[in-house]
Amino acid sequence: MEEVSLKDDCSSDPCRNGASCVDLFDDYFCQCNELYQGHDCDVDVDECSLFVNNGMGCKNGGKCVNLVGDFSCDCDPEFSGRLCESSYNDCLDDEFKCGHGLCLDGHRGQVGTPMFSCICEDGWSTSDNDQTCNNDVDECQEKPCSKNPEVQCFNNPGSYTCGGCPIGYIGNGWACSDIDECSSNNGGCSRAPLVVCINTAGSNTCGPCPSGYTGDGRVCDVMNACEVNNGGCDVIATCTVNPAVGNIATCTCPNGFVGDGVGVGGCVQGDACADVCVNGQCQENQDKVEFCVCNVGWNGVHCDVNIDDCLTQPCNNGGTCIDGVGGYYCNCPNNYGGTNCEIDESGCGAYYVQDSGSFSFPAMIGQTYPSSSNCAWVVQVASGKVGRGGGVNMGGGGKWRGVYIGG
């Protein structure tokens, strides 16, 4: 029998890179660590290829770089750590980093260069040289206070204030509303006589004084009648006022002219006025100036204008006024009579002063004269006129007597 001596194949230390050797029969086995492979553990393991699908490699977009017996990760500037697993937060180092604002962490673009932004509070901003919120905003540049009317703006650190509203306005300076001065005491304008108050922006103005007054609208004084439009006289007439009789204009035509001097054409040139006085008589004053004196009921330079006697509305109780020459006639409704329809004919007895017309008593159809009554009607007419009573219903045996008084 042949004797075989056993050889230790690990005695030559064949395993590389720290691998453990296991002796075998006429051979050996190397137990490699995770960084090497091969029979003698002398072949580097490519971790970048090994970890590409198992999630054990570089994180967050880091690039894997294989090394002999190792690997490294080339991280994005925003991340750090062996596997790029940690993200930088550039706001954690200082809670007051942004000053008057809130820090917002950003994504780093360069290695070692922090990246953050600031959201500023109202009234603060960043600047070209300082990204923190320590730059006061001048809000007054934007004119935040009232523009109409204009109110002054005062800038403060992180804020602003508005001045007060000007006189004539009310508000907080940011907004101002016009005060209607006319709503109180007529805005200081005259109230006797009454003058219109006109409200304006921040103030008010007064309208003109009414006709017959002079002043600025706040104070109105009675005007001399001749100061306005020559007192209503013809432009060539002389206007005068006699204070003893009031503020009444008197018009006088110059020598060589006739007329009352009132209005345009109030003075007409002529040697005599007898031919132009239609309904009047020509007279001469102490200055030898001739003028027309109109008959009753007529007016005008030549006495050719009939005066409308109904302008004063003399008829009462719904009576209709009919104009005449130098007078008028009232057409009265039922139950009323008299010159101005002022007499209630439903009563017993009356006194009439008129040249024409009629009356009846009792006024209501079907009624009879009261028994044992003594009623008197007196009718006064102009001289030459004739009065007549008729249609007398004497109920109860009464008697009738007509009484007419000539004017």
Q: Can you tell me the distance from the alpha carbon of 407 to that of 401, in angstroms, rounded to the nearest whole number? A: 20
> Which of residues 203 and 352 earns the better pLDDT score?
203
Question: Smallest Cα–Cα separation from 326: which of 293, 281, 295, 356?
Answer: 295
Burial 362-371 (b: 16+ CB within 10 A, else e): beeeeeebee
Neighbour count for residue 403 (Cβ, 10 Å):
11
pLDDT tens digits for 96-117? 889 899 999 999 989 889 999 9
pLDDT over 60 at 261, yes or no:
yes
Q: Calculate mean pLDDT across residues 337-357.
A: 72
Instruction: List, in order, residues 6 or more apart from 100 with CB less than 8 Å away.
Output: 120, 121, 123, 124, 133, 134, 158
pLDDT over 70 at 3, yes or no:
no
Question: Smallest Cα–Cα separation from 172: which of 182, 180, 162, 181?
Answer: 162
| Single-letter code of the amino acid located at 247 | N
Query: What pLDDT sits at residue 405?
Result: 44
Query: What pLDDT sits at residue 359?
Result: 61
pLDDT over 90 at 161, yes or no:
yes
Has this prediction a pTM greater than 0.85? no
- Of 63-72, 78-87, 255-264, the range with the lowest mean pLDDT is 255-264
Q: Calculate mean pLDDT across residues 319-335.
A: 87
Q: Calculate mean pLDDT across residues 51-70.
A: 85
Integer CA distances (angstroms), 64 to 67, 83, 108, in order: 10, 9, 20
For the domain covering 139-178, report its CATH number.
Answer: 2.10.25.10
Query: What pLDDT sits at residue 30?
Result: 93
| Both structure tokens of 159 | 């804020």
Query: What pLDDT sits at residue 285?
Result: 76
Query: What pLDDT sits at residue 237?
Result: 92
Domain 181-222 part of CATH 2.10.25: yes
> Which of residues 288 and 167 earns the better pLDDT score?
167
Q: What angle do CA 171, 184, 206 make, to 5 degrees?
A: 100
Phi, psi of 229 (to 5 degrees): 55, 40
3-state secondary structure of 111: coil
Q: Calculate mean pLDDT across residues 366-373.
A: 60
CA dihedral sign of residues 254, 260, 264, 270? negative
Q: Calculate mean pLDDT across residues 254-281.
A: 78
According to CATH, the superfamily of the domain at 225-306 is Laminin (2.10.25.10)
| Residue 276 C-alpha from the chain's centroid | 61
3-class DSSP string for 64-128: EEEECCEEEEECCCCEECCCCCEECCCCCCCCCCCECEEEEECCCCCCCCCCEEEEECCCEECCC
Phi, psi of 146 (to 5 degrees): -55, 135
Do 267 and 261 touch, CB atoms closer than 8 A? yes
| Both structure tokens of 106 | 């950003």
Confidence of residue 175 (pLDDT cuts 50, 70, 90): very high
CA atoms within 13 A of residue 180's CA, in its CB half-sphere: 5
How high is the mean pLDDT of the chain?
Answer: 82
Query: What pLDDT sits at residue 9?
Result: 85
Confidence of residue 366 (pLDDT cuts 50, 70, 90): low
Pairing of strands 377-381, 350-353: parallel
Domain 308-387+401-407 part of CATH 2.10.25.10: yes
Q: Calculate mean pLDDT across residues 173-193.
A: 93
Q: Which residues pair with 257 in a beta bridge?
A: 269
Instruction: List, in order, residues 6 or more apart from 334 with CB less than 8 Å away.
Output: 363
According to CATH, the superfamily of the domain at 48-87 is Laminin (2.10.25.10)
CA atoms within 13 A of residue 40's CA, in its CB half-sphere: 8
Annotated domain spans of the chain: 48-87, 101-136, 139-178, 181-222, 225-306, 308-387+401-407
pLDDT over 90 at 211, yes or no:
no
| Residue 51 C-alpha from the chain's centroid | 78
> Which of residues 182 and 375 earns the better pLDDT score?
182
| Single-letter code of the amino acid located at 291 | F
Query: What pLDDT sits at residue 88?
Result: 92
DSSP states along 170-200: EE-SSSEEE--GGGSGGGG--BTTB--EEEE
One fold for 139-178 and 308-387+401-407: yes
